[in-house]
Every structure is written in C-alpha cells, then in structure tokens.
Structure 1
Amino acid sequence: MNILLTKRQKEIISKLRVSDAGANAIAFDNLESRQISMENIEILCSLINAELMMEGIFPNFEPNKYGIELENLLDVINRPRIGS
C-alpha cells in the first residue's frame, strides 16, 4: 500500500521512530519504502495515538496544534485500512 506523507508528517514519523528506540523498526522501514501491511498500519497508528494522548492534547482533552497534526497523520496512515 502506498502512503504519501508531507514533509512535516515525515518529520513526525522520524521523531516517533527515535522515541520508539527500534522496537518497531520494520513498521517504520516499510512505511518509508511505501510497502506497508495492515499489521504495520496498526502498529504505527498505536504509536501515533499514544503520542497524541501524551503530547497532543490540552488538559481539557482538546487537541493542541501538534495534536491536530497527529490526527491528520493518523488519517493518512489509517486510510488504506479504512478503505479495505
């Protein structure tokens, strides 16, 4: 499945890869090579969602600017899974 990311989305993915410390390197590698499986989509969505919950919301649970970027990234990464 081909997932096209913006420059900013690639930056966020890169940050998440570093934070993940290699635990899901295959999922990140497959995303970069544009050959991603449903399993890897699930892994990446979980990591993005965790980042959203920790860094992307205000105390009132509304998304901050970074949270909105993460929500948009979730939409892009998750699109193949929803479309199938």
Structure 2
Amino acid sequence: MMINLSDTQKKLLITLKSKMCGEDLNMFDAALRGDVEMKAIDRLCELINEEFMMEGIDESFEPNQYGIELEGLLDAINKPRLVK
C-alpha cells in the first residue's frame, strides 16, 4: 500500500527506527520508501502508539509537541487502511 509522508514525518520515522531492532527495521525502510504491506501498517501503528504513550504526553495526559507529531505520523501511516 502506498503512503505519502512529509519530510518531517520521514525524519520522525527515522528517529523511531533508531530505537528499534530486528525484523521491524525492514518495515521502517519500506515506509520510508512509501510502500508498505497491510501487516506492516498494523505493526507501525502499534509502535507509534507505544512511543506516543511513553514520550508523547505530558503530566496531564495531553499530547506534547512530540505527541502531536506522532499523531500526524500515525494518521499518515494509517491512511491506506481508512481509504478503500
């Protein structure tokens, strides 16, 4: 499935990739190329959500700036599942 990421979203994806290891690295590379399988979209969304919960919210559980950027990335990655 094709995804379109902005340069900012690509940089954020590279940052997330640097925190990962193993088999997840290939799906990050595919996403950076703009072509991912549905299974990879599911996993990427899961990893972005985990990062959001750990680093993307403040003490009052509101999204911080990083969290807002993660939400935008999640929307872009998830878009192919919503458009059918």
- The count of aligned residue pairs is 84
The Cα RMSD (Å) is 1.2
Aligned to 2:57: 57
Secondary structure at the aligned position of 2:19 is classed as helix
Cα distance in 2 for residues equivalent to 1:22 and 1:6: 25
Aligned to 2:13: 13
Question: Aligned ranges for residues 23-62 of structure 1 at < 5 Å?
Answer: 23-62=23-62
Secondary structure at the aligned position of 1:43 is classed as helix
Q: Structure 1-normalised TM-score?
A: 0.91
| Unaligned runs of at least 5 residues, structure 2 | none
1:23 Cα deviation (Å)? 3.7
Aligned to 2:80: 80
Runs of 4+ in 1 over 4 A off after TM superposition: none
Aligned to 2:68: 68
1:69 Cα deviation (Å)? 0.6
Q: Structure 2-normalised TM-score?
A: 0.91
Alignment deviations for residues 8-32 of structure 1 (CA, whole Å, 9 cap, x no partner): 1111100111101234012112112
1:34 Cα deviation (Å)? 2.1
